[in-house]
Structure 1
Amino acid sequence: MRKHWVMLVAACLVPSWEGAASTLTRGEFTALFEQEAETVLADTGFDIVDELHLRANKPGGGELIVFLDNAYHSYELGQQPLYEAIQSKIVVVDAQLNHDSHQQVSRILPVIKPQSFLVRTREQLSEAGVNKDLTPFYYEHLNSDLIVLYVLDTPQSAQYLTKAQVKALGLSATHLRALANDNLQMHWQQTDAKWVVFSQELQGVLTLSKRDFYAASSLLAQPDWSLAALEEGWVFFMPARDHVYLVPREDAFAMSHISALVKDIYKHNRHAISPYGYMFDAGKWVRYSPLKAVEPSDG
């Protein structure tokens, strides 16, 4: 019941924000979020730590670190209107603070898998005499090559969330993705993962500083938003779950070398994901096409 009330109050507040003449700065976005979050979540206090970084304090004790990087990034790129970005984040924070299974909610992380993962799973179900159409875990299509699943990450294991578990959370697909991406942002903070230069020979290519189970998921939430937006000028390669590379689209030398490396990793890694690169186009992650990328503009 609380979830529906929070969504209703947030929805009533946000339309008035759209009068902003230009894109809000990080500081303005942070201040606006604090103002609206304290109105909707009246029992929770918010303190601004830095731009896009707040601390939420509950009256009964307990604290939640709130990062607005993903929400601001979505708004800045025009993927969400201002009111949707703020509203979605408020709903997510409420779930993180007040969900009956708070500890579990804070451990939900996104995982990217190839579409072939579904095929293999259904084949295994069919061999076991189970209806192959009853895929037990919850998933979303990212594009024609990739899907997004959600796992409950614990020190002992990472368990895929089932459709029943996701339904019990009471979150929309949009809010579930935002929640998982926020948790992933916290994971990067805790593991101190960063984008680093791949090699002296390929100075323009970036890779993660750590081999990580969730490395491929950095497509959804970056470890470091101070980097020029991933969507602008980069091709993202994820040949395996713990191998990722960012390559400038215009660097033909780097693209040739990394493409060959990616194909080799994909061929030999037991956790392979894709031999292709992906670029952000018209609001979606699509398979990189060199011809399309260098197509001249009109005029």
Structure 2
Amino acid sequence: MKKLLYLMFGLFISGCSSQPKFLNEAQYTKKYFKIISKKYPEVIYEIKEPLVLKASYGKGKSVTHYLDNSYREYKLDPNDLDDIIEKYTNASAGVYTKSKEIDINRIVPVIKPSDYFEQLKTLGNSTYEDFKVPELIWEPYNEDLIIVYAEDRDNNINYFNQEEFEKLEIARDSLLEFSVNNLSNIVPKIETVGENGNFGLIAGGDYEVSLMLMTSIWTKENFDVDGEIVIAIPNRDLVFITGSNDNEAIEKLKNTVQESYETGNHSVSRSFYKWNGEKFEKL
């Protein structure tokens, strides 16, 4: 993942000599609306506000699409506008086929900030009054983070609710171990980049942060760092790794983590976390 490499080593990537006209939030929403309406003509779309679309489909069904993550990705590289919208609109197909049977072998754990549901509630209240935060399957991980369970699909990550989960006949207390085992089969080859006690992980772009749940990989044999293993996870596709005694590296990473959290898509946390032998706790 080039973005990870560039952030880790502080490289400045110059854009194309001829930059495209940059779209503000309202302009981006209109372009997204035009493309997704053409792609799914059976769905009725309505622009509620910049970066928020309401989609009505089926028999009285509706869903709200928040475009903030895709817009953040667009701001990182305006030249990729068409590819970004194509990727995100393709993912919407899974939303309209929600009735598709869940493949239990594709259930994965997704790390989210502990205020994830409050964020959803805030977004929902800004659009229409009858918005309800979905009753997803989740559990706490530490004081900052939670684990939300979902199904990995070809074009999207399908978050399922309590009613759907009960049909799967999976023991709730075994779900974490079960989903982590699935994750190890789903992610592509996990690559480590970096050197001299400072590393990063590459695993396809969707589940890098979820790798913190794979307890077997967090060893000094895999990550030769100064002190205990410390990670930073500003976005779901970025995992920075250093040592608890490497104060210089941690200080240098702080600005990178803050900037990535604020400007990247799918933000997770500004904090650093230390491996205690069983899990990561806030540093």
TM-score (norm 2): 0.56
Residue equivalent to 1:209: 202
Q: Which residues of 2 match residues 215-294 of structure 1 at below 5 A? A: 215-221=208-214, 224=217, 228=221, 233-281=228-276, 284-288=279-283
Rounded Cα–Cα distance in structure 1 between residues aligned with 2:186 and 2:248: 33
Conserved 8 A contact 1:239-1:275: yes
Q: Is 1:148 the equivalent of 2:141?
A: no
Hey, what's the Cα distance between the residues in 2 that align with 1:214 and 1:222?
15
Preserved CA contact (<8 Å) 2:136 2:161? yes
- Whether 2:107 is the aligned partner of 1:112: answer no
1:185–1:223: 8 Å Cα contact kept in structure 2?
A: no
AA at the equivalent of 1:243 = L
**Any stretches of 5+ residues in structure 1 without a counterpart?**
1-100, 289-299
Aligned to 1:174: 173
Q: C-alpha deviations, 1:71-102, integer Å up to 9, x for none?
A: xxxxxxxxxxxxxxxxxxxxxxxxxxxxxx99
Who is 1:83 aligned against?
A: none
Alpha-carbon spacing, 1:150–1:143, altered in 2? closer, same or farther (3 Å): same
Q: Is the 8 A contact 1:211 1:243 kept in 2?
A: no
1:257 partner SS: helix
Q: Find the aligned partners of 1:167 and 1:274 in 2 and give their Cα distance.
A: 31
- Tell me the CA shift for residue 124 of structure 1: 4.2
Amino acid in the other structure paired with 2:190: A
Aligned to 2:156: 157
The answer to which of 175-184 and 154-163 deviates more is 154-163
- Tell me the distance in 1 between the aligned counterparts of 2:164 and 2:256: 38
Q: CA RMSD in A?
A: 3.0
**Structure with greater contact order relative to length (CA < 8 Å, sep ≥ 6):** 2
Partner amino acid, structure 1, of 2:193: V
Q: Residue by residue, what CA displacement relative to the aligned partner does 1:17-76 show, whole Å, maximum 9, x if unpaired?
A: xxxxxxxxxxxxxxxxxxxxxxxxxxxxxxxxxxxxxxxxxxxxxxxxxxxxxxxxxxxx
Give a deviation string over 1:103-134, Cα, whole Å, max 9, x none: 701111111111232102223455544475x6
Counterpart CA distance in 2 for 1:154 and 1:147 is 21
The TM-score, its normalising length taken from structure 1, stands at: 0.53
Distance 1:249 1:270 in 2: 27
Which residue of structure 1 lines up, in the alignment, with residue 192 of structure 2?
195
Residues 109 and 184, structure 1, Cα contact 8 Å, conserved in 2: yes
Q: Which residue of 2 aligns with 1:136?
A: 135
Correspondence for 1:31: none
Deviations 1:196-247 (A, max 9, x none): 22x5xxx2111113451101101102684675478x8111210001111111
Identity in percent? 22
Are the aligned partners of 2:212 and 2:280 in contact in 1 as well (CA < 8 Å)? no
- Give the number of aligned pairs: 181
274-283 or 258-267: which moved more?
A: 274-283
Secondary structure (helix, strand or coil) at the match of 1:151 reads strand
